[in-house]
């Protein structure tokens, strides 16, 4: 039996393969599919990166606010002393709780009453309170010492401000030398490696305290803006009764506004008379993402500054502001 023959025209068609047009159509379809896949991948990758940076930014902002809140809640604190007559008084420290500067301190390591201000892009604040082993972090070298904002020990060398010292009731803590925390918070390296930094009074040898060196506490803090809630009259310690003139906030001012207040006629020292009226502190931190994002949109990255003004960053970094208001509980009394 003879084999079935294939027509010569069909044989030529089977041997010819794809035409150029067919190849170009197939290549075009493949490129379209590849471009779509790459676009989906790029969009997904950028969204994932933005989500990661925003999450880290929020965590950093909340952590920074919590750190400031913890310190401000202790501002003006002193262990209470109960004398034999049953009254409650501040056992040791009864001075200014906070002191701030719009634009930063001229010298961060001078005495509290010598602090002066300079022009700058970020505010600074000094916070004081009686430091104990209960309200400060543990000191690695000597657990009996209270610590400053960097965890360095403070000698209890400050004499009690209660004079003459009252006779304490049985079991109450008598006045005497104590550790005074004097911590100064500021923003450093704002244009290169921004960070919230602090320096504080710490032990200097066996019989002295001195200011140490400013060290960063938390990275990516670009700016700090602070407003102060003030009363009509000053109060330098926790009072026994509510007084609207001393314990009611009438306005919020920046540090320059507090320094510009007129005399209340209560205290002879102008600084104590003005800053003794502060009952609350409103802190705004402008945070920056840890690294810039890819493919910055045309026109830059929009954000709100602490003064609620619109701004745009062209360097690719995400920016957000975080705000909190803290009552100085060692100054405020509920009516």
The secondary structure of residue 301, as a DSSP letter, is E
pLDDT of residue 1: 47
226 and 281 Cβ atoms separated by less than 8 Å: yes
Query: Rounded to a whole number, what is the distance in angstroms from the first to the last CA of the chain?
Result: 118
pLDDT of residue 39: 72
The answer to which of 23-27, 92-96, 288-292 has the lowest mean pLDDT is 23-27
User: What is the tens place of the pLDDT at every residue in 127-175?
Assistant: 999 999 999 988 878 888 999 999 999 999 998 887 666 666 666 667 7
Question: What span, in angstroms and rounded, lies between the C-alpha atoms of 284 and 325?
Answer: 9
pLDDT band at 334 (very low <50, low <70, confident <90, very high): confident
User: What is the tens place of the pLDDT at every residue in 225-271?
Assistant: 999 999 999 988 878 789 999 999 999 999 999 999 999 999 999 99
How is the chain split into domains, by residue range? 49-327
pLDDT of residue 241: 86
Question: What span, in angstroms and rounded, lies between the C-alpha atoms of 99 and 311?
Answer: 29
What lies within 8 Å, CB to CB, of 87 at 6+ separation is 240
131 and 201 Cβ atoms separated by less than 8 Å: no
Question: What span, in angstroms and rounded, lies between the C-alpha atoms of 103 and 107?
Answer: 12
User: Could you give the 3-state DSSP secondary structure of residue 180?
Assistant: strand
The β-bridge partners of 187 are 196
Encode 281-315: b = buried (16+ Cβ within 10 Å), e = exposed: bbbbbbbbbeeebeeeeeeebebeebeeeeeebee
Alpha carbon of 133 to those of 97, 146, 154, 182: distances in Å? Answer: 19, 5, 10, 15
User: Could you give the 3-state DSSP secondary structure of residue 294?
Assistant: coil
The secondary structure of residue 184, as a DSSP letter, is E
**pTM, to two decimals:** 0.83
User: Could you give the 3-state DSSP secondary structure of residue 109?
Assistant: coil
The mean predicted confidence, pLDDT, of the chain is 87
């Amino acid at each position: 039996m003879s084999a079935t023959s294939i027509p010569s025209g069909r044989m030529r068609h089977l041997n010819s393969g794809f035409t150029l047009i067919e190849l170009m159509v197939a290549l075009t379809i493949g490129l379209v599919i590849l471009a779509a896949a790459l676009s989906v991948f790029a969009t997904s990758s950028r969204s994932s990166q933005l989500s990661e940076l925003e999450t880290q930014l929020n965590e950093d902002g909340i952590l920074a606010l919590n750190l400031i809140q913890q310190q401000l809640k202790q501002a003006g604190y002193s262990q209470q002393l109960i004398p034999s007559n049953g009254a409650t008084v501040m056992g040791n420290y009864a001075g200014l709780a906070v002191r701030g500067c719009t634009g930063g301190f001229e010298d961060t390591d001078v005495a509290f009453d010598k602090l002066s201000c300079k022009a700058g892009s970020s505010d600074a604040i000094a916070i004081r309170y009686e430091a104990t082993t209960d309200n400060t972090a543990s000191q690695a070298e000597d657990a009996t010492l209270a610590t400053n904002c960097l965890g360095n020990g403070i000698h209890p060398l400050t004499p009690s401000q209660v004079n003459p010292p009252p006779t304490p009731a049985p079991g109450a803590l008598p006045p005497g030398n104590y550790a005074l925390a004097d911590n100064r918070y500021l923003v450093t390296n704002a244009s290169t490696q921004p960070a919230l930094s602090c320096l504080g009074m710490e032990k200097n040898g066996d019989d002295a305290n001195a200011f140490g060196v400013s060290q960063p506490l938390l990275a990516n803090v670009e700016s700090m803006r602070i407003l102060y809630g003030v009363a009509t009259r000053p109060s330098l310690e926790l009072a026994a009764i509510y007084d609207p003139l001393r314990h009611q906030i009438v306005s919020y001012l920046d540090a320059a506004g507090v320094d510009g207040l007129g005399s209340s006629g209560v205290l002879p020292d102008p600084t104590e008379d003005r800053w003794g009226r502060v009952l609350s502190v409103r802190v705004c931190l402008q945070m920056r993402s840890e690294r810039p994002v890819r493919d910055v949109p045309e026109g830059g990255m929009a954000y709100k500054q602490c003064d609620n003004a619109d701004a745009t960053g062209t360097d690719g970094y995400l920016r957000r502001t975080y705000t909190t208001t803290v009552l100085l509980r060692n100054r405020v009394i509920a009516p």
